[in-house]
Amino acid sequence: MSPEPQPSAIVGAVEIQDGTDAVGRSGGGRCAEQDAVDRLGGDPDLVLFSAAVRPRTGYELPVCRAVCQVAYAREQFDDGVAFDSFKRQRGRRYADAAAEQPFEQADGQWFDAGDIDDMAAAATVVALRAELSERRSGVEPAGTRCHYADGWLRAYVDICDPAANLTLATIRIDLTDRWLTAGWCSATRAELDDDLSDALGGDLFVEQADKVARVRAPERAAQWLVRQLDRPVVRLDWRHGDGVAAQAWMLADSDRMLVERGDWQLSERPDSRDAATLVRGAKLA
């Protein structure tokens, strides 16, 4: 019997009336918070949640906008929990290597993968691995993974702030028999939504990958990933007394908010922040 697949997120939850607790696991298109509520039973409004965590990395995950920020009140989450924002404020050759590359997971390897019987998909994994191994991207192997089934490759790259122990977003790249698509996704929903457009919080990159274009899919996917990893991510801090009242993380080249934590009313006003720190990527000129 094969082992149970590791969930992309786990969360602790407690029912405030009787103190019953449970651990929720994401999967089947559902968030870990939803699973925890089902395990507890009773009234979802009487459940308190811890921060969700990515088991592979130990990094905290923000509360997703699409489901959990709608279903549950902010007061149901621990103090300091981060929340998804995703809102606007105002040529190489890889096919030969793919034919020889082993795809079983090895220590320190990017993009763990099982058997891939499609040459374009296998070459795409090789291309992505090559880019991450050849440059200082700030991405750890544990923050990458890929799934391949029925001719559909999905590759994921977590964008993190290690100093905050927080996953800010997940870059997802999909290759089917017809299309190469990619985009910035909610870190919580990236692996739960089959349709990439449902998981997206950022701009959608789409390139047709028909029988001719699929030959170029590995190179195009790798080039696009490199551009995304160079994008500047900035942490904004709003201070109150000797402490920090709120924090927000944004893509500085587009003013697109990724995650917020603390007093959300402050994070609605980026220009009022007390400090801005470059977390990753290149500083804007």
User: Are 147 and 190 spatial neighbours (Cβ–Cβ below 8 Å)?
Assistant: no
pLDDT at 90: 31
Domain boundary, last residue among 88, 117, 144: 88
Nearest Cα to 66, choosing from 87, 36, 45, 81? 87
User: Are 6 and 56 spatial neighbours (Cβ–Cβ below 8 Å)?
Assistant: yes
Residues 6+ apart with CB under 8 A from 161: 168, 233, 235, 249, 279, 280
Q: How confident is the model at residue 267 (pLDDT cuts 50, 70, 90)?
A: low
| Structural element, H or E, at residue 234 | strand 233-240
Q: How confident is the model at residue 200 (pLDDT cuts 50, 70, 90)?
A: low
Alpha carbon distances (Å) from 197 to 26, 189, 205: 19, 11, 10
Domain boundary, last residue among 211, 229, 247: 229
Query: Based on the domain organization, do 57 and 124 belong to the same domain?
Result: no
Query: Based on the domain organization, do 272 and 173 belong to the same domain?
Result: no
Query: Based on the domain organization, do 48 and 73 belong to the same domain?
Result: yes
Q: Is the pLDDT of residue 282 over 80?
A: no
Query: Based on the domain organization, do 41 and 79 belong to the same domain?
Result: yes
183 within a domain of the structure (yes/no): yes
Query: Based on the domain organization, do 131 and 84 belong to the same domain?
Result: no
Domain count, the chain: 3
* Residue 221 identity (one-letter amino acid): A
Query: Based on the domain organization, do 153 and 193 belong to the same domain?
Result: yes
Query: Based on the domain organization, do 24 and 84 belong to the same domain?
Result: yes
Query: Based on the domain organization, do 143 and 237 belong to the same domain?
Result: no
**Segments forming the whole domain that contains residue 171:** 106-229
| Interval 77-126: pLDDT, tens | 998 899 987 543 334 455 555 555 544 444 467 887 777 888 889 999 99
